[in-house]
């Protein structure tokens, strides 16, 4: 019975259907299924499949975006139930993420945040147009393991470097890892500014974050 439900959950993510994903998550709660099983045995195989197909060029960006939204809708229904049961999702580390100052592109950043959250990280999403000072302030306040910055404009990429310098000035740089990404960002840019990690997409970002912390 729950096997069928798990299959339907995976399919709802593959089909990028947030309403159905939320409905199936609710159904799992009503049937007394462990919400962690619903996430890990139901929805995660769906998002893994989409990630693999995207990697092979057989599914495309809209599929990835919709799969992320479906996953997010399901997790939003299940997380209160996890808290209610007193269970804790495995937390691999704390990530502070945002799009840098002067930049309002949020689709890729949000997708990366969702994937990190689904992948087991506690994510503080600061949104877009995030000032250098805000990254530092929140990283300190939440004792971040990773500061993750997205930039979509060649004119705003330089803010990633400013944040790294500000983390150094604040004495936080050696305590955490820095990841950068966004369409104009390259591996060589990441190396040039002294970031620890770079990924060109959201699926890769989860693997890089795990690798940086030596977890998962």
**Closest by alpha carbon to 108, among 179, 13, 202?**
202
Closer residue to ligand B1M in complex, CB, 76/107: 107
Name the residue whose CB lies closest to ligand B1M. 108
User: Minimal distance in Å, beta carbon 38 to ligand B1M?
Assistant: 25
- The CB-of-2 to ligand B1M minimum distance in angstroms stands at 32
**Closer of 106 and 162 to ligand B1M (Cβ):** 106
Contact 71, 37 (CB under 8 A): no
- CB atoms under 10 Å from CB of 123, counted, come to 20
CA dihedral 140, 78, 46, 106 (to 10 degrees): -40
Residue nearer to ligand B1M on the CB measure, 5 or 111:
111
In terms of Cα–Cα distance, which of 52, 33, 146 is closest to 91?
146
- Output 87 or 184, the one with its CB closest to ligand B1M: 184
How near is the Cβ of 169 to ligand B1M at its closest, in Å? 21
Binding residues for ligand B1M (CB under 6 A): 61, 102-109, 111-112, 148-150, 152-155, 179-184, 199, 201-202, 205
Question: What stretch of H or E contains 150?
Answer: strand 146-150
CB of 30 to ligand B1M, least distance (A): 34
> What do you get for the CA distance between the two ends of the chain, in Å?
30
């Amino acid at each position: 019975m729950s096997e069928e439900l798990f299959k339907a959950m995976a399919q709802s993510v593959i089909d990028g259907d947030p309403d159905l994903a939320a409905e199936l998550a609710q159904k799992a709660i009503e049937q007394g299924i462990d919400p962690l099983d619903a996430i890990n045995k139901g929805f995660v195989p769906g998002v893994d499949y989409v990630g693999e197909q995207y990697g092979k060029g057989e599914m495309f960006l809209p599929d990835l975006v919709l799969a992320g939204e479906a996953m997010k809708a399901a997790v939003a229904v299940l997380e209160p139930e996890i808290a209610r049961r007193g269970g804790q999702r495995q937390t691999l580390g704390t990530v502070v993420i945002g799009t840098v100052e002067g930049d309002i592109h949020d689709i890729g950043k949000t997708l990366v945040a969702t994937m990190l959250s689904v992948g087991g990280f506690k994510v503080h999403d600061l949104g877009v147009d995030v000032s250098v000072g805000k990254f530092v302030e929140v990283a300190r306040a939440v004792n971040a393991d990773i500061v993750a910055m997205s930039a979509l404009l060649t004119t705003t990429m330089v803010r990633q470097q400013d944040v790294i310098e500000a983390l150094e000035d604040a004495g936080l740089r050696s305590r955490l890892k820095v990841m950068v990404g966004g369409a104009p960002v390259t591996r060589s840019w990441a190396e040039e500014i002294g970031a620890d990690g770079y990924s060109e997409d959201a699926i890769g970002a989860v693997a890089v974050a795990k690798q940086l912390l030596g977890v998962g």
